[in-house]
Copies of this chain bind each other. A is one copy, B any other.
Amino acid sequence: MKNFVSVDDVYDINPLVEQALKFKTDPFASKSLGIGKRLGLLFLNPSLRTRLSTQIAASNLGMESIVFNVDKDGWALEFAEGAVMNGTTVEHIKDAAPVLGQYFDILCVRTFPTLQNREEDYSERIINQFIKYAGVPIVSLESATLHPLQSLADIITIKESVMQIPASESAGVKIVLSWAPHVKALPQCVANSFAQWVGAWGEAEFVITHPKGYELNDAFTANARIIHNQEEALANADFVYVKNWSAYKDYGKIISNDADWMMTNQKIAITNNAKIMHCLPVRRNVELSDEILDGNNSLVTQQAGNRVWAAQAVLNEILKSK
């Protein structure tokens, strides 16, 4: 694996999931692999779970990690070719990335979309320019349109649950990605990425449900069935991933915020006693009801815990490829 910015960087998902589960059983199984190697974690936007889980993963592999949170005002990067930098940007990616590439063996980058300029966001120019200029492997800690470490952790979590189902019943698992209300306009990253990974994984029936107007970019949803009626979508679901996102078409907008789309125990009743997933942080009683998060169907804490093993499997793969 050269970089890790989308599912396309993964040759085969299942061995990566198996490697992650091996690390979960034995965190220090490859504790010498990363000795003398350095991981840089560059945050152009803040992060909690992603930073901690990636630092722990690196440490489990014997790598040293150094975090640098960039105050966008303090270190505004320029990405435009040929720019005359007499404004607010203080350093060009063409100068910054190669320096970071000298300091680190692997560089992790977190960046967010503008939610203003769809073309720019979907070009993923920030993470792509790091790939172009850093000269070392780049790992996405969430980019403008995708969040692959989250999605890998999601697949790991689903796999763990499926493994507990008797083989005779585990065929035909059904996963539903269900849009939820929120008070803020959020990126499409987690939804895009989950759709992309579940589609590429191919081991489940996959349905996406959302109010009209919240259609995702169909580059990511080719293997999903879109159903606008949430009840119909939830029928017989084994896993329900609850997540808000802002509109892709009317870009970055909240076009409706119907509280009826909140996930509740009443809706779980429609499903096959589905496990409920969310990437956190979650707005209680807006996206999901308390009763779900405090109940036995919730996988959210387990999902967050699996972020460590997802990151460790990816770093392990990159270290072995170097």
Contacts and interface: CB of A to CB of B under 8 A. Distances in A.
A264 interface: no
Interface pairs A-B: 4 shortest CB-CB? A91-B281, A102-B305, A85-B283, A84-B285
B28 A280 contact: no
A96 interface: yes
A269 interface: no
Contacts of A51: 68
Given A103-B53, A103-B308, A301-B99, A83 B280 contact: no
Interface in A289-304: 290, 293-294, 300-301, 304
Interface of A: 28, 36, 38, 40, 46, 48-49, 51-53, 55-56, 59, 64, 66, 68, 70-71, 74-75, 78, 82-87, 90-92, 94-96, 98-100, 102-103, 183, 280-286, 290, 293-294, 300-301, 304-305, 308
Contact of A95 (B28, B94, B98, B282): B282
Nearest to A46: B74
A49 B97 CA distance: 11
29 contacts: A46-B71, A46-B74, A49-B99, A52-B66, A52-B100, A59-B64, A82-B290, A84-B284, A84-B286, A85-B284, A85-B285, A86-B183, A86-B283, A86-B285, A87-B183, A90-B281, A90-B283, A92-B282, A92-B284, A92-B293, A94-B293, A95-B281, A95-B282, A95-B293, A95-B301, A96-B281, A99-B280, A102-B301, A103-B308
A186 B293 CA distance: 38
Contacts of A283: 85-86, 90
Contacts of A308: 102-103
Interface centre among A56, A70, A103, A284, by most B CB within 10 Å?
A284
Contact of A300 (B95, B100, B103): B95
A56 B103 contact: yes
Contacts of A74: 46
B53 A280 contact: no
B53 A91 contact: no
A91 to B, nearest CB: 4
